[in-house]
Structure 1
Amino acid sequence: MYTLAGELSQNNAHEQVAAGNAAIAQGQCDFDFSNVVKMDSTAVASMIEWQRQAAQHNKTLHFHAVPATLISLIQLYGLTGQFQLSPAERH
């Protein structure tokens, strides 16, 4: 499982996308959002790019521990059907 950490926003999206693409190239299909502490709508664009990369490798991605705020953005953009999502557990 590839675990994202810290921030996923316009401040570091290029680096996060590159790292995610490298993980996909190495065979990772599960992305864990549980350690992401800050994000913006760039996270949705990053997920779309990762989906493209996965498709090129004939893989399907699964996104785990997706924060409610990110799920809300995905719903707002009408992209719910585009991703396999497991929401973060509430504490």
Structure 2
Amino acid sequence: MLSLDALTFGSAKSALEQGCAAIAAGETVFDLGGVSTADSSGVAVMLGWQRLALKAGQRLDFINVPENVQKLAALYGVDQLLPQS
């Protein structure tokens, strides 16, 4: 299970790798409830995960997405690409 406490510029590479491994293991729901710090890099990471999942014929759903990440995704016009359960 994916377990992250930050989705920021400093953690983006590690977060992307963890998510890619989770997708390869068949995970299709990412719970971001443990994320206490996030910035626009988090949106980019989530888009990267979604792109990888779609390439693998899967679709990711995100739950407990931090409010600031939701707002950033909406601001950038990509919120529809990051489905939430």
TM-score (norm 2): 0.93
Q: How many equivalent pairs are there?
A: 85
Question: CA separation in 2, counterparts of 1:24 and 1:15?
Answer: 14
Question: How far is the alpha carbon of 1:7 from its aligned partner?
Answer: 1.2
Residues 3 and 34 of structure 1 are in contact (CA less than 8 Å); yes or no, is this contact kept in structure 2? no
Within 5 Å, give how 1:46-65 maps onto structure 2.
Answer: 46-65=45-64
User: What amino acid is aligned across from residue 57 of structure 1 in structure 2?
Assistant: A
Higher deviation after alignment, 77-86 or 54-63: 77-86
- Is the strand fraction higher in 1 or 2? 1
Residues 32 and 63 of structure 1 are in contact (CA less than 8 Å); yes or no, is this contact kept in structure 2? yes
Identity %: 34
Structure 1 unaligned residues grouped into runs of 5+: 87-91
Higher deviation after alignment, 3-12 or 44-53: 3-12
Larger radius of gyration: 1
- Is the helix fraction higher in 1 or 2? 2
Question: How far is the alpha carbon of 1:78 from its aligned partner?
Answer: 0.6
Question: How far is the alpha carbon of 1:73 from its aligned partner?
Answer: 0.3
Name the counterpart of 1:89: none
Residues 4 and 15 of structure 2 are in contact (CA less than 8 Å); yes or no, is this contact kept in structure 1? no
Structure 2 unaligned residues grouped into runs of 5+: none
Residues 30 and 64 of structure 1 are in contact (CA less than 8 Å); yes or no, is this contact kept in structure 2? yes
Question: CA separation in 1, counterparts of 2:3 and 2:43?
Answer: 14
Q: RMSD in angstroms over aligned alpha carbons?
A: 1.0
User: What amino acid is aligned across from residue 5 of structure 2 in structure 1?
Assistant: G
